[in-house]
Amino acid sequence: MSEQSTGHAATAVADGPPSGDMVVVEDLRRTYGSGDTAVHALRGVSFTVPRGELVALKGRSGSGKTTILNLVGGLDSPDGGRITLDGTDLAGLGDDDLLAMRRDRIGFVFQSFGLIPILTAAENVGVPMRLRKVPPREREERVQLLLALVGLADHAAQRPGELSGGQQQRVAIARALANRPVLIIADEPTGQLDADTGLAVMELLRAVVRSEGVTALVATHDAQLLALADRVLELRDGRIVSDT
Ligand SMILES: Nc1ncnc2c1ncn2[C@@H]1O[C@H](COP(=O)(O)OP(=O)(O)OP(=O)(O)O)[C@@H](O)[C@H]1O
């Protein structure tokens, strides 16, 4: 854990010593559009994600889950409130620091996998390390290790189209871990998978959160998967209505 949180090149100005929470969200507000057509996607959301935990966001379609993930992941900016990630206030970061934060400290996993079709599984896992200019030898070693971690050591040379949906999502999880992120953000990671495959992928996420000492924030409305979370936050109409 300590290596995870301190071993990174400083990508941003830390606001102070990291607290026990990897993510602190305070009174987050986000409105899309304005006037009569304004959609109040988040109406004052506060929660924390303790280090090393897997926290799930549940709620009906449109309740605000993706909006939260986009804001915590620095893909969008809030209209109000504050997000602190690993001790750093996102609002204090310029574009370059935000980009570096996303690249080096957050791993994203999407419903649609987001793999590059013309690249092999190994090459896809290596992409984030190429962007960070990790030397080829080190990169290849980590790719092998990560593919083994997700049970795909024998599929390194296959392209996404030659893999099942569950295997593709495993590649995406390996890719998300490539740069040793402190936080994994996953938006409906099992949404395109059948129930059994989805459960296996969620169990893998659960396992890597433990083995890699990473923290995860996962949106899902699948009750079976919610049971694997350390904590479940329920959203309704842009507000948290339960925290269990
Ligand atoms: N770019 C946008 N422009 C306008 N409205 C948006 C935009 N993105 C989201 N919304 C609206 O904000 C609200 C919250 O959407 P959000 O995608 O966060 O919900 P969600 O819980 O992730 O839903 P789903 O489970 O369907 O992905 C919804 O009413 C949605 O229509």
pTM: 0.89
Query: What's the CATH number for 2-243?
Result: 3.40.50.300
Q: Tell me the DSSP string of 125-187.
A: HHHHHHHTT--HHHHHHHHHHHHHHTT-GGGTT--GGGS-HHHHHHHHHHHHTTT--SEEEEE
Using most ligand atoms within 8 A of CB, pick from 25, 63, 70, 220 the residue to mutate for ligand 1: 63
What pLDDT shows up at residue 214? 94
What pLDDT shows up at residue 15? 52
Residue ranges of domains in the chain = 2-243
Nearest CA to ligand 1 atom 3: 32
Q: Which residues contact 225 (CB under 8 A, 6 or more apart)?
A: 56, 190, 198, 199, 202, 218
Using most ligand atoms within 8 A of CB, pick from 66, 68, 220 the residue to mutate for ligand 1: 66
Average pLDDT of the chain? Answer: 90
Taking the CA of residue 67 as reference, the ligand 1 atom at the shortest distance is: 18
Listed as ranges, residues in the chain with pLDDT below 50 are 1-14, 16-17
Q: Is the shortest distance between the CB of 41 and ligand 1 below 6 Å?
A: yes
What pLDDT shows up at residue 134? 95
Taking the CA of residue 57 as reference, the ligand 1 atom at the shortest distance is: 21
